[in-house]
Amino acid sequence: MSGTSLDGVDCALTSVTGSPPDLAVELKAYQYRPYTDEQRRRLAFVCSSEQAGVADVCELNVLVANWFANAVQASLSEIGAVASDIDLIASHGQTIHHAVTVTGKEPATLQIGDPSVLAQRTGITTVGNFRPADVAAGGQGAPLVSYVDWLLHRSPVEARVLVNIGGIANLTYMPRNAGLDDVLACDTGPGNMMIDHFVELMTGGEAKWDQDGHIARQGAVDENWLRELLADPFFRLPPPKSTGREQYGQALADGLWSQAGARGLAEADRVATITALTSRSIAGAVRDLLPGTVDRVWLSGGGVHNDTLVAWLQADLTGIQVAPLAKDRSELNAKEAVAFAVLAHETVHGRPGNLPRCTGADRATVLGQLAPGRNFHKLWQAVGPAAT
């Protein structure tokens, strides 16, 4: 799994057994493989439609798959496993374009890192390209983790919201004793993406993120500027909705950084205010966009390690229990990688992985594209006859 932050690859060795609604899911091992500066530069380049050409995208589609294959092989080596121990790779790919609500344009999403290259390099059958199936069914292709959130975290006694703070933040809402038709999900807006870019601008690229929220904690939030930022119409749109780098990426961050400078804001104050934008937009979605009360908010993703962001979110959601989803750092970082492992498991068993109420799709559909590896016949003999 590699998200919109363009920071690296999450490799989660996951055991998935059983069938819905009683899947048993266990994280066996987790490794994080950061991108090099050059890899991040190349990814950021192809994410800019004004600069990148077809040849750039085509080459990087293969390169990203090779990077993923290297990450898989290194992770297996570290835990003393080999490819034949693994049944299936679930590869989200690297999103470089997600534009599903542009007026006059065909809805489209593109994740690079070709699954066939990954399957051939590792020998392991791979499921990838999960999002286009939902888009083709009339959905926004996101968020897709809501089905897995329901499988693993629904409660008969609590109304829960799961918030994942990656480059973009998203939430899943489940009322008490939720059925699939009760689940609601959406992207809430920027997560870490603009915070990270502000920190890079502040430090001349020396730092890639705000470690523990230290910079934001030293700054002061400019409430007047924050009110202007929160006037963004996206924050008021009801679910289902999704967004990405096209709306909250480098171009916007560069413009806002300059805008803050023109207002006379100190650099730490700029980081504090953009951090507050993430907190307030998430809190606003929890308070204003959901149909019922919320007892507990569970946090995951890279943003959960920003102590200042978490503290501000807890303050913005007074009266609701807000805490990390798990105490173990690996479990927090691996959440979305584990979710796509579950979705791949559902795919090879012929079961839908999207929730139309969450993505806006016309129907539930099986997600992803399957690229056979050397273990394909063995895998299909095991799951093919049982696929339902």
pLDDT tens digits in sequence order for the chain, 388 residues long: 898 888 999 999 999 999 999 999 999 999 999 999 999 999 999 987 677 899 999 999 999 999 999 999 999 999 999 999 999 999 999 999 998 987 788 999 999 999 999 999 999 999 999 999 999 999 999 999 999 999 999 999 999 999 999 999 999 999 999 999 999 999 999 999 999 999 999 999 999 999 999 999 999 999 999 999 999 999 999 999 999 988 999 999 999 999 999 999 999 999 999 999 999 999 999 999 999 999 999 999 999 999 999 999 999 999 999 999 998 889 999 999 999 999 999 999 999 999 999 999 999 999 999 999 999 999 999 887 655 5
* Domains 8-140+333-383 and 146-331 in one fold: yes
CA atoms 273, 275, 278, 284: torsion sign: negative
For 113-129, give one letter per residue: b (16+ CB within 10 A) or e: bbbbbbbbbbbbbbbbb
CATH tag, 8-140+333-383: 3.30.420.40
| CB-CB neighbours of 320 under 10 Å | 18
In the chain, what are the domain boundaries?
8-140+333-383, 146-331
CA atoms 57, 62, 63, 69: torsion sign: positive
CATH 3.40.309.10 fits 146-331, yes or no: no
